[in-house]
Amino acid sequence: MSAAAPSDAFFDALETRDPADREAQLFAALRLQLSHAKAHTAAYADLLAGVEPAEVGDRAALARLPVIRKSELAARQLALREGQGSAIDGAHEPHEALGGFSAIGWRGCLRSAGAGRVFQSPGGLYEPEGRAPDYWRVARALFAAGLRAGDLVHNSFSYHLTPAGAMMEGGAHALGCTVFPGGVGNTELQMQAMRDLRPQAYVGTPSFLKILLDKAAESGLRLDSLQRALLSGEAFPNSLRDWLAERGVAGYQCYATADLGLVAYETAAREGLVLAEGIIVEIVRPGGSEPVAEGEVGELVVTTLNPDYPLIRFGTGDLSAILPGTCPTGRSNQRIRGWLGRADQSAKVRGMFIHASQLAELQRRFPQASRARLVVEGEMAQDRLTLKLELPEAVPREGLSEQLAAALRDITKLRAEVELLPPGSLPNDGRVIEDARKLD
């Protein structure tokens, strides 16, 4: 997506759109994306059968569509690779290795030149990369981190198997930067390159940047050309941000995945991460599909408008929450708190697994509960379960504990005590299964 930049403060004019205009434009594009996905991918022809794209005009309608999680994506890819899935129409050739979710394959067609690369994530999950410039839309995050045309960027993300290195390189090239493809490891050689080439910026994990700077200091090397960094792939605590600042490096973080590309990025305001343009983000109940209230911690679900790989309501498995208001920098999109943990929680109790999706089903049956948490206590083989639910005072309590216990037993085949709590009693941390057992 490109638009004339209104000033050097913003990557383009999309960042300062009126929020209502952005919402209307996103959903107009979404209706086209739904039609495209149904017509050109085998997976969405199946998943969206019976869905009329023209009727998906707002978030309430979007929330009625199924959430696709990484486990299902991987299962469909495996099934098609092993010949267990439905036949794929060779006219648009979404390759079997990609589970029928990709609208491009290896060969070109009238609509597309085909994938430029294909990557592998842990667990044997494959993702295509189309041929559009800045395919992963990372240039926006690099710009917010202070990178500009003419900068030399030292890229220490992997260039093999996973797309992280290519993601950052594509964004840097879109800005007009030069890239040194350092990749991972080879610390001494990377330090030598930084000393010799004097890059202005670094992209990679925060921990590896700290290793480089520590080792350079031990060796007496000066890396004083380095002023900016865009960091991702792991936690970036404030203590490390301050440590880098003391050494003259302004570090910013972004949240991106191999499936979706850029999702959110940090700005100079340092108040959460601003959502990327060209995607629709929802926060849903962990293990479920229903959006939670603004500010509540839940699973980050993303819909992309990428025609090559049209993931619709893709569950990232990561926890986050929407922050109120907008960024003080003037960017008008929503913000998230950042990565707050994993949503795909589970515990093994009395020989059976309990999953977050089962707690989500319980709350679907009892929507009057605002938050729920199943606490597992005691010692191994002597487990004690307590279902804790927050309920507004106006909700009648008579017989409700027994109904909840019966519903939980129906869903999980396990018995639990029920504790009804007033709103605000449970932490707003997205945790729905708490394993508090003693392991020794």
Answer whether 240's CB lies under 8 Å from 220's CB.
Answer: no
Q: Does 183 reside within a domain?
A: no
364: containing domain: 346-435
What is the tens place of the pLDDT at every residue in 192-239?
999 999 999 999 999 999 999 999 999 998 899 999 999 999 889 999
More confident residue, 277 or 434: 277
In a domain, residue 409? The reply is yes
Q: Give CA–CA dist 305/302, Å, rounded.
A: 10
Domain-located, residue 274: no
Q: What is the pLDDT of residue 213?
A: 95
The residue type of 277 is E
In 3D, which of 329, 337, 356 has the Cα closest to residue 145?
A: 329
When computed from its CA atoms, the radius of gyration of the chain, rounded to whole angstroms, is: 24
Query: Residue 151 and residue 146: Cα distance in Å, rounded?
Result: 10
Instruction: Tell me the CATH number at 425.
Output: 3.30.300.30
Asked if residue 75 belongs to a domain, the reply is no
Residue 127 CB contacts under 8 Å (≥ 6 apart), including other chains:
98, 118, 119, 120, 121, 163, 258, 259, 309
Q: Summarize pLDDT for 32-71 with one digit per residue, the tens.
A: 999 999 999 999 999 999 999 999 999 999 999 999 998 8
Domain for residue 365, yes or no? yes
With a cut of 60, say whether residue 318 has pLDDT above it: yes
> How confident is the model over 270-289, as a mean pLDDT?
95
Contact yes or no for 212/190 (Cβ under 8 A)? yes
Q: Which residue has the higher pLDDT, 379 or 258?
A: 258
Ordered DSSP codes for 127-185: EEE-SSTTTT--HHHHHHTT--TT-EEEE-S--SSSSHHHHHHHHHHHHT-EEEE--SS
69 within a domain of the structure (yes/no): no
Listed in sequence order, the residues at least 6 apart from 217 whose beta carbon sits closer than 8 Å to its beta carbon are: none
- Based on the structure, what is the number of domains in the chain? 1
Model confidence at 95, in pLDDT bands (50, 70, 90)? low
- Is 249 inside any structural domain? no
Residue 258 included in any domain = no
What pLDDT is attached to residue 98? 87
Q: What residues does 379 pair with on adjacent strands? A: 382, 438
Q: Which single residue is written with the structure tokens 């995945």? A: 257
